[in-house]
A and B are shown apart, each in its own frame.
Chain A
Amino acid sequence: MSGSALLLQFLNGLAGASSLFLIAAGLSLIFGVSRIVNFAHGSLFMLGMYVCVWLAPKVGYWASVPLAAMLVALCGALIEVGLLRRIYKAPELLQLLATFALVLVIKDFALWAWGPEDLLGPRAPGLTGAVPIAGRQFPQYDLFLIAIGPAFFVLLHLLLTRTRFGILVRAATEDREMASALGVNQRGLFTAVFALGAALAGIGGALAIPREPANLEIDLAVVSDAFVVVVVGGMGSIPGAFLAALLIAEIKAFCIGLGYSELTLVAEFIVMAVVLIARPWGLLGRPIAELRGRDQADFRLAATKPMLAMLAVLALVPIATSGYALVLLTDVLVFVIFAVSLHLLLGPAGMVSFGHAAYFGLGAYGAGLLVLRYEAPMELALLAAPLLALTGAAVFGWLCVRLSGIYLAMLTLALAQIVWSVVYQWDSVTGGSNGLVGIWPAEWLASRPAYYFLALVVCALSVGALWRIVGSPFGQALRACRDSPLRSEAIGINVRAQQWAAFAIAGTFAGVAGSLYAFSKGSISPETLSVPRSVDALVMVLLGGVQTLVGPVLGAALFTWLEDSVSREVAYWRAGIGAVILLLVLALPYGIGGLLRKWSSR
């Protein structure tokens, strides 16, 4: 690579860094004062894009940028007042889910308002040309973007250090209770900070328009990039976000420039891994005080008999029907395994995983690849595929157990997004966006009832095994690590090793579910391991109740049935699911299991 090409790649990286910084800074500011990781931040960026494309023909591109920022800020303020204010004291898992529900609602809103097609916006008037740099042409607009990042960095810095508002924001970031005891009204402060963060995302989106069209897929892509930046830079640190945005964007630019665009994700992953091992709180971050304890103890519903009765009833179903009900029930069984495996992490281990679909997907793709590429017999593939999930969970888990709380959740999401991207881009092996087709079960299992029985047996065995694991000394030790890591270490429990093992076990069972899923559908696509699939699992567990293992079983059944009926009947089903999640978070925080317990203890 010549010197001039190197320089251009460097400049490209700087332009990308500006956009990354805008979004990560907003995310970081909001997290700083409210301790909420705003999953919907990418959606606000996306809104900024659409509003810009929508307004630009009416008022001109340059006027549309501040207008987009204002509208998105208003939207952010509404979200804070209408939703987040009610859940500041809720467990962080519920907060993440609530903001994810917003992702779904905003996506369907954009679909309804602007349609499914990508919308190409105008180019920036006055900056459409190119300047010669080192003998090559470099777009003027990209030069402008390069300047925007540092400009906003300076502005934010001045705002935070020179104004009363900024001083209050920094005080609340450090100790919001003390700030309150000194007379600082946090309500107004939180709303203002959320609006400011949203405005930054809106500007980021609007400024991205001359370079790429507004599209519905950008929200999760942007937010997971921002997560990586914030995790690397340190939560709540604006200079950290700036530094990390530069680092990540340059790495991306050079990987693409060298012609290894597939390497981008791997490089990003390695950088993140190195930073987190050396500095678990990010380059310029600091440990976050845990704000919330667990508010309800675990319980074991005396459900062995009802569960066995249910198993007996399920075994009799094929006598009554071999129609669609059987297909749906097979789905339910698959997702019961998936949800129960996630429950091990969420419940006893107390680790919020936002990327559990990665292991589900590894199981599915493992099965598909073994059958299609290596012509393995189906029975062997079904058994071996979970090992791929185990490997993935062992590698990712090793990294994740170094973190806790919100950092861990963000890392799991970023890792899952990397797996998704690899599968999505690696056409020659995974079939890319088309996925794999023709993954059929062996002949003796091909009929609907036969496959249903297989799923039933595997599900019963898996749930039984996890039930035993949760109740075993290992399960008890896991809970001890969750409730007091320090004391657990002091009595001789290796906390990281326990949590790592939990990751491996949970991943393996998710892989079992994935491999069962692949053979039941016959084809799989990258959607199998996408972030929404991870969130589905979280909703199943929460719907059922995280405090007991019966919860996810009920939750998975109800959710799968609901999704099946809703997505067939309703056009904007994503928003519907978002609404269900919001309802759940606001009205039923302990899930169905919590309700059952309340009733049974009366």
Chain B
Amino acid sequence: MLACARSTLATLEVKQLSAGYERARVLFNISLEARAGEAVALLGPNGAGKSTTLKAIMGLVSPTSGDIVFNGRALRGLEPYEIARLGLGYVPEDRRIFTDLTVAENIEVARQAPRAGASTWNEERLFKLFPALAALRDRRGGRMSGGEQQMLCIARTLAGNPSAVLLDEPSEGLAPLVVEQMARAILEIKRARVTIVLAEQSRHFAGRVADRTYVLDKGVIRSA
């Protein structure tokens, strides 16, 4: 009875997911869930399949089997833009800032109408979350530091007013001071009741922000 109630509360549920690239299989029957407002970390070394898991959820990699359910909707077979419009945000590992576009334009690309049951992020609120971005509003994405790009990348995704976000190693390659800022920002996002799935290599960083962790190794969940 209790288990049943839990699963209906789950915002994002991944069941028996397998995926890979061409002939290389990366994920083997992964199952995980994140409940509304929860921050879940996906821990594991390089090549464990963390990024592939997030990409498969986002529709950027086609799963070979399994199910992905988000707010009661099955995501498999949907286009990435359809998934994004259901209120699932994605922050890729390599940031993928539009280098030709300014900070404001990057945010504009991701803008969606306010969503019932999710926090609304306008430009003002985003700049409050990342004060460093406010001064760079008209700076081109290609002319920003790595830390600034990472902030923009998260801000951009929040502009879609998502009810859940997938964060792929947001602390990677950043200076310790910036990592600290990032952790505080993620906690702030969590306080806004945005569900978070965080892929991380750093146990320390994950421990600061996540309520629960899954450990992923060679495409298999080792412990939850």
Nearest neighbor of A186 in chain B, beta-carbon distance:
B81
Q: How many whole Å from B165's CB to the nearest CB in chain A?
A: 12
- The proximity string for A residues 164-179 relative to B, scoring 1 for CB distances below 8 Å and 0 otherwise, is 1001101101110111
Asked whether B60 is an interface residue with its Cβ less than 8 Å from the other chain, the reply is: yes
Judge whether B60 and A179 touch: CB under 8 Å. Answer: no
Asked whether B49 is an interface residue with its Cβ less than 8 Å from the other chain, the reply is: no
The docked-state distance in angstroms from the alpha carbon of A179 to that of B156 is 11
Judge whether A167 and B92 touch: CB under 8 Å. Answer: no
Q: How many whole Å from B98's CB to the nearest CB in chain A?
A: 5
The docked-state distance in angstroms from the alpha carbon of A170 to that of B98 is 8
The docked-state distance in angstroms from the alpha carbon of A206 to that of B45 is 61
Q: How many whole Å from B75's CB to the nearest CB in chain A?
A: 13
Judge whether B81 and A183 touch: CB under 8 Å. Answer: yes
The docked-state distance in angstroms from the alpha carbon of A185 to that of B82 is 8
Judge whether B80 and A177 touch: CB under 8 Å. Answer: yes
Judge whether A181 and B98 touch: CB under 8 Å. Answer: no
Q: How many whole Å from A109's CB to the nearest CB in chain B?
A: 34
The docked-state distance in angstroms from the alpha carbon of A185 to that of B84 is 10
Judge whether B101 and A171 touch: CB under 8 Å. Answer: yes
Asked whether B211 is an interface residue with its Cβ less than 8 Å from the other chain, the reply is: no
Known: A167-B109, A168-B109. A181 touches B92 (CB 8 A): yes
**Residues of chain B with a CB closer than 8 A to A186's CB:** 81
**Residues of chain A with a CB closer than 8 A to B98's CB:** 170-171, 174-175, 178-179
Asked whether B85 is an interface residue with its Cβ less than 8 Å from the other chain, the reply is: yes
List residues of A (153-207) whose CB comes within 8 Å of B's CBs. 164, 167-168, 170-171, 173-175, 177-186
Interface centre among A180, A181, A184, A185 (most CB of B within 10 A): A181
Q: How many whole Å from A180's CB to the nearest CB in chain B?
A: 4
Asked whether B90 is an interface residue with its Cβ less than 8 Å from the other chain, the reply is: yes
**Residues of chain A with a CB closer than 8 A to B160's CB:** 182-183
**Residues of chain A with a CB closer than 8 A to B100's CB:** 170, 173-174
With contacts defined as CB atoms under 8 Å apart, how many contacts are there between chain A and chain B in the complex? Answer: 60
Nearest neighbor of B99 in chain A, beta-carbon distance:
A174
Judge whether A180 and B81 touch: CB under 8 Å. Answer: yes
Partner-B contacts on A (CB < 8 A)? 164, 167-168, 170-171, 173-175, 177-186
The docked-state distance in angstroms from the alpha carbon of A171 to that of B98 is 6
Q: How many whole Å from B90's CB to the nearest CB in chain A?
A: 5
**Residues of chain A with a CB closer than 8 A to B99's CB:** 174
Which one of A167, A183, A184 contacts B101 once the chains associate, using CB atoms below 8 Å?
Answer: A167
- The proximity string for B residues 138-154 relative to A, scoring 1 for CB distances below 8 Å and 0 otherwise, is 00000000000000000
List residues of B (77-117) whose CB comes within 8 Å of A's CBs. 79-81, 83-85, 90, 92, 96, 98-101, 105-106, 108-110, 112
Partner-A contacts on B (CB < 8 A)? 58-60, 79-81, 83-85, 90, 92, 96, 98-101, 105-106, 108-110, 112, 156-157, 160
Known: A182-B160, A184-B81. A170 touches B96 (CB 8 A): no
**Residues of chain B with a CB closer than 8 A to A170's CB:** 98, 100-101, 105
Q: How many whole Å from A489's CB to the nearest CB in chain B?
A: 24
**Residues of chain A with a CB closer than 8 A to B79's CB:** 180
The docked-state distance in angstroms from the alpha carbon of A232 to that of B81 is 34
Q: How many whole Å from A370's CB to the nearest CB in chain B?
A: 52
**Residues of chain B with a CB closer than 8 A to A174's CB:** 98-101
Nearest neighbor of A168 in chain B, beta-carbon distance:
B109
The docked-state distance in angstroms from the alpha carbon of A171 to that of B105 is 9
Q: How many whole Å from A166's CB to the nearest CB in chain B?
A: 9
Judge whether B105 and A183 touch: CB under 8 Å. Answer: no
Judge whether B108 and A185 touch: CB under 8 Å. Answer: no
The docked-state distance in angstroms from the alpha carbon of A179 to that of B58 is 12
Judge whether B84 and A183 touch: CB under 8 Å. Answer: yes
Q: How many whole Å from B91's CB to the nearest CB in chain A?
A: 10
Q: How many whole Å from B23's CB to the nearest CB in chain A?
A: 11
Q: List 10 A-B contacts (CB under 8 A).
A: A167-B108, A171-B101, A173-B100, A174-B100, A178-B96, A181-B60, A181-B80, A181-B81, A182-B90, A183-B110
**Residues of chain B with a CB closer than 8 A to A183's CB:** 81, 84-85, 110, 112, 160
The docked-state distance in angstroms from the alpha carbon of A170 to that of B85 is 20
**Residues of chain B with a CB closer than 8 A to A173's CB:** 100
Which one of B84, B101, B105 contacts A181 once the chains associate, using CB atoms below 8 Å?
Answer: B84
The docked-state distance in angstroms from the alpha carbon of A181 to that of B165 is 12
Q: How many whole Å from B161's CB to the nearest CB in chain A?
A: 10
Which one of B59, B84, B105 contacts A182 once the chains associate, using CB atoms below 8 Å?
Answer: B84
The docked-state distance in angstroms from the alpha carbon of A164 to that of B157 is 17
Q: How many whole Å from A160's CB to the nearest CB in chain B?
A: 10
**Residues of chain A with a CB closer than 8 A to B110's CB:** 182-183
The docked-state distance in angstroms from the alpha carbon of A39 to that of B15 is 46
- 6 smallest CB-CB distances across A and B, nearest first, come from A183-B84, A182-B110, A180-B80, A178-B96, A171-B109, A181-B80
The docked-state distance in angstroms from the alpha carbon of A183 to that of B160 is 8
The docked-state distance in angstroms from the alpha carbon of A186 to that of B81 is 8
Interface centre among A174, A180, A183 (most CB of B within 10 A): A183
**Residues of chain B with a CB closer than 8 A to A164's CB:** 108
**Residues of chain A with a CB closer than 8 A to B59's CB:** 181
Nearest neighbor of B105 in chain A, beta-carbon distance:
A167
**Residues of chain A with a CB closer than 8 A to B92's CB:** 178, 181
**Residues of chain A with a CB closer than 8 A to B81's CB:** 180-186
Q: How many whole Å from A29's CB to the nearest CB in chain B?
A: 14
The docked-state distance in angstroms from the alpha carbon of A182 to that of B91 is 9
Judge whether B109 and A181 touch: CB under 8 Å. Answer: no
Q: How many whole Å from B57's CB to the nearest CB in chain A?
A: 11
**Residues of chain A with a CB closer than 8 A to B105's CB:** 167, 170-171
The docked-state distance in angstroms from the alpha carbon of A186 to that of B109 is 12
**Given A174-B101, A181-B80, list of 20 further CB < 8 A pairs?**
A167-B101, A171-B98, A171-B109, A174-B98, A174-B100, A175-B98, A177-B60, A178-B96, A179-B98, A180-B79, A180-B80, A181-B58, A181-B81, A181-B83, A181-B90, A182-B90, A182-B157, A183-B81, A183-B112, A183-B160
The docked-state distance in angstroms from the alpha carbon of A177 to that of B90 is 12
The docked-state distance in angstroms from the alpha carbon of A178 to that of B94 is 11
Q: How many whole Å from A188's CB to the nearest CB in chain B?
A: 10
**Residues of chain B with a CB closer than 8 A to A177's CB:** 60, 80
Q: How many whole Å from B188's CB to the nearest CB in chain A?
A: 21
Q: How many whole Å from A87's CB to the nearest CB in chain B?
A: 17
Q: How many whole Å from A187's CB to the nearest CB in chain B?
A: 9
The docked-state distance in angstroms from the alpha carbon of A564 to that of B79 is 45
Nearest neighbor of B157 in chain A, beta-carbon distance:
A182
Q: How many whole Å from B122's CB to the nearest CB in chain A?
A: 15
The docked-state distance in angstroms from the alpha carbon of A179 to that of B109 is 7
